[in-house]
């Protein structure tokens, strides 16, 4: 009974931080994301950080809508997932490097659960280094498009990324999907609040929230 009550309160809280929108859809399989599906903007580029064991979200956007996916993950887990035959698509371009706040090598903690395979930021104990790149460098490499979307699920590195990113860089995106990891050791809800405030300053509003998964949309899409 107590668990049901907690879940009800959590859903009610999430609903308070979400907005109705006719284009909002849940896309993906095991790890889905809410997104605004504006099919009129055919030339859409999705910059996606973090693959893990599931890339059904990216695959659906590529197969069903023809959107171009620039997928980044330096971990053995992400590389193995992206290499599967069923995940191959001409619109998906995989890069075995991470998205972070710097251009260069960063230390990642080993997965707590090897089967789940998430390499994370701020971990104690044994670490491994992976090459990373900044949002600015990624954006400088992309062609022009009708719509630019960012999806970030990078195990704590999102805090440094948003702290370092210029408002002008963030403002180039139309939608931003992000999972915040304040539930992991070494991080806090205050860091999540600071990141959300940075996105607000860049012109974004919260359209959807499910626990720690958020969809932020640039106000220019809502005018």
Mean pLDDT of 45-56: 96
* 3-state helix/strand/coil string of 37-81: CCCCCCCEEEEEECCCCCCHHHHHHHHHHCCEEEEECCCHHHHHH
User: Taking Cα atoms as reference points, which of 83, 89, 71 lies closest to residue 150?
Assistant: 71
Mean pLDDT of 25-53: 91
Q: Is the pLDDT of residue 178 over 90?
A: yes
Fold of 2-221: Rossmann fold (3.40.50)
pLDDT band per the 50, 70, 90 thresholds, residue 7: low
pLDDT for position 18: 85
pLDDT at 174 over 90: yes
CA distances from 54 to 71, 81, 180 (A): 12, 7, 18
H/E segment holding residue 8: helix 2-16
| Average pLDDT over every residue of 79-98 | 97
- Domain boundaries of the chain, sorted by first residue: 2-221
pTM of the model: 0.93
> Are 96 and 51 spatial neighbours (Cβ–Cβ below 8 Å)?
no
Strand partners, 25: 35
State residue 5's pLDDT score.
Answer: 53
Q: How confident is the model at residue 38 (pLDDT cuts 50, 70, 90)?
A: confident
List, for residues 65-75, the tens digit of each pLDDT value: 999 999 999 99
pLDDT score, position 114? 85
* Residue 101 reports pLDDT greater than 90: yes
User: What pLDDT score does 16 carry?
Assistant: 75
Distance of CA 42 to the CA centre of its chain: 21
């Amino acid at each position: 009974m107590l668990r049901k009550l907690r879940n009800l309160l959590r859903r009610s809280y999430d609903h308070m931080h979400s907005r109705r929108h006719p284009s909002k859809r849940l896309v993906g399989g095991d790890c889905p994301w809410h997104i605004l599906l504006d099919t009129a903007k055919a030339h859409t580029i999705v910059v996606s950080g973090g693959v893990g064991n599931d890339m059904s979200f990216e695959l659906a956007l590529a197969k069903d809508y023809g959107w171009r996916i620039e997928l980044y993950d330096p971990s053995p887990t992400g590389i193995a997932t992206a290499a599967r035959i069923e995940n191959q698509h001409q619109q998906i371009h995989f890069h075995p490097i991470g998205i972070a706040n710097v251009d260069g090598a960063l230390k990642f903690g080993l997965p707590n659960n090897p089967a789940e395979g998430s390499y994370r930021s701020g971990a104690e104990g044994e670490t491994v280094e992976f090459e990373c790149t900044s949002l600015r460098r990624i954006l400088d490499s992309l062609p022009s498009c009708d719509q630019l979307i960012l999806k970030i699920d990078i195990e704590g590195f999102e805090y440094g990324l948003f702290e370092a990113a210029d408002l002008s860089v963030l403002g180039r995106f139309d939608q931003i999907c992000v999972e915040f990891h304040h539930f992991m050791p070494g991080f806090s809800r205050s860091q999540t609040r600071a990141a959300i405030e940075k996105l607000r300053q860049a012109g974004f509003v919260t359209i959807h929230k499910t626990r720690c998964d958020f969809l932020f949309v640039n106000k220019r899409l809502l005018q």
